[in-house]
Amino acid sequence: MRFWKLESVGNDFVLVEGDRANLPQLARVACDRRFGIGADGLLAAWMQSGILNLRMFNPDGTEDFCGNGLRCALWHGLRRAWFERPVVVRHFGRDVTARWGEDSEGLVSPTIETDLGRASWRPEDVPLAEGLPEFAPAHAEVEGERLELWSLSTGSTHTVVFCDRLPESPRFERLGRALEHHPAFPERTSVMFAKVVGRRQIRLRIWERGVGETLACGSGTCATASAYVRKFGAEHSGELRVESQGGVLSVRLHAWDAPLVLRGRARCVFEGELTWPR
């Protein structure tokens, strides 16, 4: 089975072409960093009726929406000459419009913009447990600490926790795991620990549901931007610089409930063949 290994701001993926019935099982095998290729997720991409179709699976086999995976799949499609710009990507029930510049730098893509639509704070969209109001914010006791939680969906469930200092290990893992599996989130949640370092500048440490710590998260970056503007006011909207351990992404929004535009690059690291265990 031919595969491509791609990454964007340290968020790495194994990509295969075409839809397959065994993708959840393949994700568990291919994403294993010791016995497989190693990745934060598995992408399956293919063209159909002029639309780029994309599925993403976490290393535990669960399917999800992925902002950085979108950019990696777009760069793969560009390299394979599947389409011309702009293009629509159909991913996890959403149609995402993408644009990019003319230039490319060797194996690094041009800057790619994706329109991720509006964040939803509706409890049923996040989703939150039945009967809970919007977490905008909510306060909860987690592992003996009182935390302020901002929970929303940008295609995937995210909870943003603003901090004066980003949590260090092992506190980071303890809080991330506890929040992911908190009863308030029936489908679990990813957690964005966020520190505001300047006007429209945010630094993240990321715990992703179904993965654990990752170096970046595109949909989580957008969720953080929406929560930041909702918490601190519309005067903080505009072009936001969001830094994670893997690098920097830019988000543009004009209000906390306005459309989100995510911008960044991607890269193909290597390609090869995977022997599928039978």
- Kindly report, residue by residue over 190-204, the tens digit of the pLDDT: 999 999 999 999 999
Per cent of the chain over pLDDT 90 is 93
- pLDDT of residue 45 exceeding 70, the answer is yes
- Phi/psi for 86 (5° steps) reads -75, 170
Q: Give the DSSP per-residue string, 9-21.
A: TTEEEEEEES--T
Q: What is the pLDDT of residue 101?
A: 84
What's the whole-number average pLDDT of the chain? Answer: 96
What ranges in the chain are assigned the alpha helix state H? Answer: 23-30, 67-79, 171-180, 218-232
Domains and CATH numbers, the chain: 2-115+265-273 (3.10.310.10), 138-258 (3.10.310.10)
- pLDDT of residue 104 exceeding 80, the answer is no
- pLDDT of residue 38 exceeding 80, the answer is yes
- Binned at pLDDT 50, 70 and 90, residue 277 comes out as low
- pLDDT of residue 84 exceeding 90, the answer is no
Q: Is 217 a catalytic residue?
A: yes
Q: Is 72 a catalytic residue?
A: no
31, 72, 163, 217: the catalytic one is: 217
Positive/negative CA dihedral, 14, 17, 19, 25: negative
66, 72, 222, 268: the catalytic one is: 66
